[in-house]
């Protein structure tokens, strides 16, 4: 049985990658940060969905900023494949927390690469780094962005990811490690964090429809993104790790849409006009914006045989459907709470 070690296992991609690895028969080991309240909601959901595989997921406390801890865990577990998904992944937040973002996203990768280098002296191990289209910076003249496009990072998040990208390439060249970068464009799902724009929109549409929310505050609606489905994208991560030689790949759909289009599409699916509920709030604008991302995934198609299976419209639909169910449950809960409160007032 192959063993994978996944950092960032509690995040969106952590859920989808772990699901894929379990389906492929892997033993999956992950680290979680110690927090005062539990962050394992997605992995608990996965264990409920795949009870027959639950004993093949193991988690222990760990943090990518703790180099000594990482070396201990990696040397103890001796995984065959390591996926570094851990990051402070919110671009807007990175402007407020630049040093922490650098520490988690750049130094965290370097810490893990050191552990990989040590383990590789004992047994072969493969390393995946979660790189990002944010590294390109989205200047309109660079569209479509491919593996050849020059990096022009426009946030502390992106500058840290550029450093991690180069650390990964450098460890591959200097020490002959099997280390690869997946340069993934935006990928979303019903398990996307609620403060990323797609999920913020689909949850708002569903909640407004149920009478649980009255307006939606957003920032820049003109930014263009190449949005894909997270379940498709984790397959590309795994495929990169099965190649004979390590390399870097752009993973994208090749089609982009604006935030405004996503908004229109999501609200129309629940029979609403977004303009009746929208408020523009300056606090959601970024000091420097990434205007236009649209990837060229031809290398991934030709070398890996990877292609996206889900288009923009299917993605919006599956997110809206999921969040309508969430909102219906919230509504039910509100109704029950209202009845309990009414009874307590009466007493």
Decide if residue 10 touches ligand NAP (CB under 6 A): yes
Q: What is the CB neighbour count within 10 angstroms for residue 268?
A: 14
Q: Which of 53, 57, 85, 259 binds ligand NAP (CB under 6 A)?
A: 85
89 is a site residue for ligand NAP (CB under 6 A): yes
- What are 130's two structure tokens? 């979660």
Instruction: State CA 302 to chain mean position distance.
Output: 24
Smallest gap from Cβ 40 to ligand NAP, in A, equals 8
CB 64 within 8 A of CB 111: yes
The answer to whether residues 253 and 227 touch, using CB atoms and an 8 Å cutoff, is yes
Can you tell me whether residue 222 is helix, strand or coil?
coil
Regarding 186 and contact with ligand NAP (CB under 6 A), the answer is yes
For ligand NAP, the binding residue among 4, 57, 74, 86 (CB under 6 A) is: 86
Compose the 245-264 pattern: x for residues touching ligand F7E by CB under 6 A, - for all others: --------------x-----
Question: Residue 126: which region, alpha, beta or left (left: phi > 0; alpha: psi -120 to 50)?
Answer: beta
Map residues 124-163 to x or -, x wherever contact with ligand NAP holds by CB under 6 A.
------x-x-------------------------------
- Closest approach of Cβ 221 to ligand F7E, in Å? 6
User: Which of ligand NAP, ligand F7E, none is residue 197 near (CB under 5 to 8 Å by kind)?
Assistant: ligand F7E
Q: What is the 3-state secondary structure (H, E, C) of 115-179?
A: HHHHHHCCCCCEEEEEEEHHHHCCCHHHCCECCCCCCCCCCHHHHHHHHHHHHHHHHHHHHCCEE
CA dist list (Å): 135 to 71, 157, 166, 311, 322: 28, 9, 11, 23, 31
Site for ligand F7E in 57-96 (CB under 6 A): 89, 91-92
Contact indicator for 58, 29 with CB cutoff of 8 Å:
yes
134 is catalytic: yes
The pairing of beta strand 178-184 with beta strand 126-132: parallel
With a CB cutoff of 8 Å and minimum separation 6, the contacts of 295 are: 133, 144, 145, 146, 183, 185, 226, 250, 251, 252, 253, 254
Q: Under the criterion CB under 6 A, does residue 104 sit at the interface with ligand F7E?
A: no
Residue 97 contacts ligand NAP per CB under 6 A: no
Using the contact rule CB under 6 A, the part of the chain among 48-56, 62-70, 203-211, 235-243 near ligand NAP is: 62-70
288 near ligand F7E (CB under 6 A): no
Which part of the chain contacts ligand F7E (CB under 6 A), choosing from 47-55, 214-222, 250-258, 303-311? 214-222
Residues that bind ligand F7E (CB under 6 A): 89, 91-92, 132-134, 185-186, 195-197, 200, 218-220, 223, 225, 259, 284, 286, 289
Q: Catalogue the active-site residues.
A: 132, 134, 157
């Amino acid at each position: 049985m192959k063993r994978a070690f996944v950092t960032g296992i509690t995040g969106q991609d952590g859920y989808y990658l772990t699901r894929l690895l379990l389906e492929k028969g892997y033993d999956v080991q992950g680290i979680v940060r110690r927090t005062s309240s539990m962050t394992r909601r997605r992995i608990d959901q996965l264990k409920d969905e795949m009870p027959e595989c639950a004993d093949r997921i193991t988690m222990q406390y760990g943090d990518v900023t703790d180099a000594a801890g990482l070396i201990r865990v990696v040397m103890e577990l001796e995984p065959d494949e390591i996926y570094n998904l851990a990051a402070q992944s919110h671009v807007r937040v990175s402007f407020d927390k630049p040093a922490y973002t650098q520490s988690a996203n750049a130094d965290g990768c370097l810490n893990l690469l050191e552990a990989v280098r040590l383990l590789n002296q004992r047994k072969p191990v493969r390393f995946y780094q979660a790189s990002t289209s944010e590294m390109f910076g989205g200047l309109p003249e660079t569209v479509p962005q491919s593996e050849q496009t020059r990096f022009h990072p426009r946030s502390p998040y992106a500058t840290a990811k550029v450093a991690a990208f180069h650390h990964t390439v450098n460890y591959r060249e200097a020490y002959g490690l099997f280390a690869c970068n997946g340069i993934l464009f935006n990928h979303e799902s019903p398990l996307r964090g609620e403060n990323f724009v797609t999920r913020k929109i689909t949850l708002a549409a569903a909640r407004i429809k149920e009478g649980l929310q009255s307006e939606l505050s957003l920032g820049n609606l003109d930014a263009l993104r190449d949005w894909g489905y997270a379940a498709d994208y984790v397959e590309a991560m795994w495929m990169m790790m099965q190649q004979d030689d390590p390399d870097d790949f752009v993973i994208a759909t090749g089609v982009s849409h604006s935030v405004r289009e996503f908004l229109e599409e999501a609200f129309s699916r629940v029979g609403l006009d977004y303009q009746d509920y929208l408020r523009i709030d300056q606090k959601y604008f970024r000091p420097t914006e990434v205007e236009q991302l649209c990837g060229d995934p031809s290398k991934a198609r030709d070398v890996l045989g990877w292609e996206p299976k889900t288009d923009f419209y299917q993605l919006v639909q599956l997110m809206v459907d999921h969040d309508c169910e969430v909102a219906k449950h919230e509504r039910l809960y509100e109704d029950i709470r209202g009845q309990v409160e009414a009874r307590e007032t009466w007493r």
